[in-house]
Amino acid sequence: MHGNNDSFEAVIGLEVHSQLLTKTKMFCSCPNIFGMEPNTAVCPVCLALPGALPVINIEAVRLAVKAALALNININKKSLFARKNYFYPDLPKGYQISQYLDPVSSNGYLDIETEDSSKKNKINKRIRINRLHIEEDAGKLIHIGNRSYVDLNRAGTPLVEIVSEPDLSSAAEASAYLKSLREILVYLGVSDGNMEEGSFRCDANVSVRRKGDPELGTRAEIKNVNSFKFVEKAIEFEIERQIDLILNGGKVIQETRLYDSKENITRSMRGKEEAHDYRYFEEPDLPPLILSKEFINDVKNSITELPAEKRRRYVSEYKLTEYDAEVLTQDKEIADYFEDLIKENSNRIDIKKLANWVINELLSELKLKESEERMPLSAKNFLELITAVESGSINRNTGKIVLAEMLSSGKSALEIIKEKNLAQVSDDKGIEDIVKQVVNENQKEFADLIGGKDKLFGFFVGEIMKKTKGKANPKKANEILRKYIEENK
């Protein structure tokens, strides 16, 4: 950062495009799936054959309304689809059906956690959202040599576009906003939030101005940013570029810039810009989208607890630490799993302990295995294992081994414990027999122990564990050995 930067402030607005998790496309009944052979998920509508017509996917509308409600955005009872006209090979109709004129929802906000100017204290900041609207995605182009290859599988898949007001003032805030937004959409099952595959994409409008200046500076739009890390870097670079430009007597021009992650710079897209005039007008092939109160209420009722609320509840209701609550709620699947454990917890194991099992054992084991399946263990099976350890029927280390075995073989905890004969020897008679056996085999050492060589106590415990292949309950073994010593003194 340069010396004079402190006299500037950045003004950032984000436009997020997020694919919706529907079975079919926005306006036709083709599958909405990633990764099919090129041009196999296509039909007359998404190929834009002559005579084909769009028909609204009600599920896409439902998901959009769900997202909007979660983001505190007003649902507009009547909204319109419009055509945005431009020619490009990935846009077969020559227009994109979007909701430019009257969006399905407008005027909302998202609260994010950020730092104050001293960067020491966390504060909450409200980022206003201008609108959330429904639109369709374009196809894909692959450029090889001087030819381009058009694949229309993605053409017509449903998106929501979420446009923030320019309320963000740093790259870190932008990133916090984006993460929070993504978290909500994934939580609601609206989007898979995958930035790498492009199902969650972000364009950033960035401008700078001297602090206190009421006027907004000229903004540049940064496109093509496909990870959270890059969003932050791209915005940081762009802020610095604009400040440098102004300090050197230059002027920021309104343009679209592409982020180049290899060189960590943004680059002008000049030339592609000429004469954009999208000639928006109401889509005459579709009726206005009219949402009834009942429809909106149905969607409202389907919204489950959002991550921020969940975190608060975990701390207050389950008495978990902020950190534990954070880890458990990061992912809806993990949170759901954790709550399943609590629900099935008939042995009343301490919730804090359950949390530790998930965080310290299960998640780290899953990470180690890079498991494809997110939660391969049923809550019931996992509880069986936890109960076995917490009740002392196997020890903690054995528990870890059993867990690994459960994940790889799919067998239940009890099956594995039985099969491998891993259960601890906890009964007094069994351990007494072993103690006697060990004493018999080491009579000299035992005499020394009785004679006052206390250090040999550990030796005997070790021998007992060896004999039982670690299955003896160490606490029990200690107790019985001590008793035996007393008796033989």
Partner 1 sequence: MDDLCRLTISEIAGLLKKKEVKSTDILNSYVKRIKAEEPEISAYLYNDFEEAERNAEAADKIISSGSDYPALTGIPLSIKDIFLIKGKRTTCASKILDNFISPYDSTVVRKLKENNYVFLGKTNLDEFAMGSSTENSAYKITKNPYDLNRVPGGSSGGSAASVAADLCAGSFGTDTGGSVRQPAALCGVVGLKPTYGLISRYGIIAFSSSLDQAGILSKDVTDAAIMLEAVAGFDEKDQTTRKFNVKKYAEIVKKADKSILKGLNIGIPAEFFSDGLDPEINSKVSEIKILLKDLGANIIDISLPDTKYSVSTYYIIATSEASSNLERYDGIRYGYRYNENDGGAIQSLDDLYRKSREAGFGNEVKRRIILGTFALSAGYYDAYYKKASLVRKLIIKNYKDAFAKADIIIGPTSPTPAFLIGEKTADPLSMYLSDIYTISVNLAYLPGLSIPVGAVKNPTKTDGILPVGLQIISPWTTEDKLLSVAKIIEDEVKFREKIKK
Partner 2 sequence: MDINHVMKLAKLDLNEEESAHFASELNKILGYIDMIQSADVSKIEDIIDELDYDRLISNEGLNERFYKDCRIDECKTDDTFDFEIVKSNAPSFEVQTAGSDLEDTVTESGFFVVPQVIE
Residue 323 binds which of partner 2, Mg ion, Zn ion, none (CB < 5-8 A, kind-dependent): none
Q: HSE of 178 in the Cβ direction (CA atoms, 13 Å)? A: 30
152 binds Zn ion (CB under 5 A): no
Residues in the interface with Mg ion (CB under 5 A) total 1
For partner 2, the binding residue among 43, 303, 308, 485 (CB under 8 A) is: 43
Q: Is residue 460 a contact partner of residue 441, using CB atoms and an 8 Å limit?
A: no
For partner 1, the binding residue among 286, 308, 351, 465 (CB under 8 A) is: 286
- CB 160 to partner 1: min, Å: 20
Closest CA to 314 of 369, 262, 368, 352: 352
Residues in the interface with partner 2 (CB under 8 A) total 46
Comparison of 250 and 287: residue with beta carbon closer to partner 2: 287
Pick the piece of the chain touching partner 2 (CB under 8 A) from 30-38, 330-338, 383-391, 455-463: 30-38
Residue 279 binds which of partner 2, Mg ion, Zn ion, none (CB < 5-8 A, kind-dependent): partner 2
- CB 137 to Zn ion: min, Å: 12
Give the Cβ contact number of residue 52 at 10 Å.
16
Q: Name 351's bridge partners.
A: none
Residue 307 binds which of Zn ion, partner 2, partner 1, none (CB < 5-8 A, kind-dependent): none
Binding mask 136-165 for Mg ion (x = CB under 5 A): -------------------------x----
285 binds partner 2 (CB under 8 A): no
Residues in the interface with partner 1 (CB under 8 A) total 29
Pairing relationship of beta strands 265-268 and 95-98 according to DSSP bridges: unpaired
45 binds Zn ion (CB under 5 A): yes
Concatenate the DSSP letters of all residues of 323-357 into one string: HHHHHHHSSHHHHHHHHHHHHH-TT---HHHHHHI
Comparison of 60 and 422: residue with beta carbon closer to partner 1: 60
For Zn ion, the binding residue among 33, 36, 43, 303 (CB under 5 A) is: 43
Please report, to the nearest 10 degrees, the dihedral formed by the alpha carbons of residues 108, 111, 117, 120 taken in order. Answer: 180
Comparison of 32 and 329: residue with beta carbon closer to Zn ion: 32
Question: Could you tell me which residues come within 8 angstroms of residue 416 by beta carbon, excluding any fewer than 6 positions away?
Answer: 402, 405, 406, 409, 422
Binding mask 85-104 for partner 1 (x = CB under 8 A): x-x-x--xxxx---------
Question: Could you tell me which residues come within 8 angstroms of residue 444 by beta carbon, excluding any fewer than 6 positions away?
Answer: none
Comparison of 161 and 167: residue with beta carbon closer to Mg ion: 161
Encoded amino acid at 385, one letter: L
* 3-state SS, residue 360: helix
Concatenate the DSSP letters of all residues of 163-218 into one string: EE-S-B-SHHHHHHHHHHHHHHHHHTTS----TTTTSEEEEEEEEEEETT--SPPP
| Integer Cα distance of 207 and 238 in angstroms | 8
Residues 9 to 28 in contact with Zn ion, rule: CB under 5 A: 28
269 binds partner 1 (CB under 8 A): no
161 binds partner 2 (CB under 8 A): no
Residues 145 to 184 in contact with partner 1, rule: CB under 8 A: 150
283 binds Mg ion (CB under 5 A): no
Question: Could you tell me which residues come within 8 angstroms of residue 147 by beta carbon, excluding any fewer than 6 positions away?
Answer: none
Question: Could you tell me which residues come within 8 angstroms of residue 141 by beta carbon, excluding any fewer than 6 positions away?
Answer: 89, 90, 148, 149, 150, 151
| Integer Cα distance of 78 and 103 in angstroms | 9
232 binds Mg ion (CB under 5 A): no
Binding mask 349-388 for partner 1 (x = CB under 8 A): ----------------------------------------
| Integer Cα distance of 287 and 480 in angstroms | 83
143 binds partner 2 (CB under 8 A): yes
Closest CA to 85 of 97, 73, 103, 75: 97
296 binds partner 2 (CB under 8 A): no
Binding mask 50-89 for partner 1 (x = CB under 8 A): xxxxxxx--------------------------x-x-x-x
| Integer Cα distance of 402 and 406 in angstroms | 6
- CB 55 to partner 1: min, Å: 5
Binding mask 61-100 for partner 2 (x = CB under 8 A): x-------------------------x-x-----------
Structure-token pair, residue 263: 């060189």
Give the Cβ contact number of residue 113 at 10 Å.
13
Comparison of 298 and 350: residue with beta carbon closer to partner 2: 298
| Integer Cα distance of 477 and 392 in angstroms | 13
Residue 161 binds which of partner 2, Mg ion, Zn ion, none (CB < 5-8 A, kind-dependent): Mg ion
Q: Which residue is nearest to Mg ion (CB)?
A: 161
Chain residues binding Mg ion by CB under 5 A are: 161
Interface residues toward partner 1, by CB under 8 A? 44, 47-56, 83, 85, 87, 89, 92-95, 150, 277, 279-282, 284-287
Per CB under 8 A, residues contacting partner 2 are: 22-24, 29-31, 37-40, 42-44, 47, 49, 55-61, 87, 89, 141-143, 146-152, 271, 275, 277, 279, 287-292, 294-295
